[in-house]
């Protein structure tokens, strides 16, 4: 494993972990393997703590590829609950309003999903890392301060209904970077004359990297700890055996 010249490691981020938590664990394992106190490790495309799935971790010189990797299409499997909303549009916050959902039919859902396919404008969630006047939006949200977020252009290539069991929906989404699936849940609820929030999210693909190729975090750490390492000619650090 050529960690220094650069590796792209696809991991299956666990539920409840931030993307930074996962990167920190891998960075620690790499630093231990290389005998270094510092080493460059980053990730391509953040996942919320309540989401699981493909997270691309780049090491060494491969961190230069992060911007390119983030441009890749992303695929998600999302579970939505109709008839209720939360301030964060997911389970991070409690339900703040309920709405009728009994009028919603499978045909209506399919027709509505078609309207969200293609080039769309989406207002990000207030509980997000989007910056407003140099400050993260979620910091305003947690203080109860109202701020206006601007709609951003994005593209949803495919939006497929996998399961219709009111009040629950399961969707498969193939979309561009910058898409907030929580915000999509909010918008779908409104379009159905109801409300909705995200109850589970799993990212199954980032570009060419799929969940079938992703390692569990412990697997990745074990591979890093045992793999033979390659060092460039100009390497000046220790060379662990």
Nearest alpha carbon to residue 201 among 116, 73, 92, 76: 76
Catalytic: which of 2, 12, 48, 193? 48
48 among known catalytic residues: yes
DSSP states along 159-194: EEEEEEETTEEEEEEEE-TT--HHHHHHHHHHHTTS
Contact predicate 49/14, CB 8 Å: no
> Active-site positions?
48
């Amino acid at each position: 494993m050529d960690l220094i010249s650069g590796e792209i490691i696809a991991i299956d981020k666990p539920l409840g972990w931030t993307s930074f938590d996962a990167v920190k664990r891998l960075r620690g394992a790499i630093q231990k393997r290389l005998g270094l106190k510092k080493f460059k490790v980053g990730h391509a495309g953040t996942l919320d703590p309540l989401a699981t799935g493909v997270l691309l971790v780049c090491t060494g010189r491969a961190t230069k590829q992060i911007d390119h990797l983030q441009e890749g299409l992303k695929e998600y499997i999302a579970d939505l609950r109709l008839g209720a909303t939360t301030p964060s549009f997911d389970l991070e916050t409690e339900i703040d309003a309920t709405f009728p959902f009994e009028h919603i039919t499978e045909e209506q859902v399919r027709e509505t999903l078609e309207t969200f396919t293609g080039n769309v404008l989406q207002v990000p969630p207030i509980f997000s890392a989007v910056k407003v006047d140099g400050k993260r939006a979620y910091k305003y949200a947690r203080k109860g301060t109202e701020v206006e977020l601007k709609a951003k252009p994005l593209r949803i290539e495919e939006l497929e209904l996998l399961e219709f069991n009111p009040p629950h929906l399961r969707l498969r989404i193939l979309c561009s970077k910058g898409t907030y699936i929580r915000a999509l849940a909010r918008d779908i609820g409104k379009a159905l004359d109801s409300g909705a929030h995200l109850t589970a999210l799993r990212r199954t693909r980032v570009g060419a990297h799929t969940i079938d190729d992703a390692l569990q975090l412990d697997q990745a750490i074990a591979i890093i700890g045992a793999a033979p390492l390659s060092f460039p000619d100009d390497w000046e650090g220790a060379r662990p055996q």
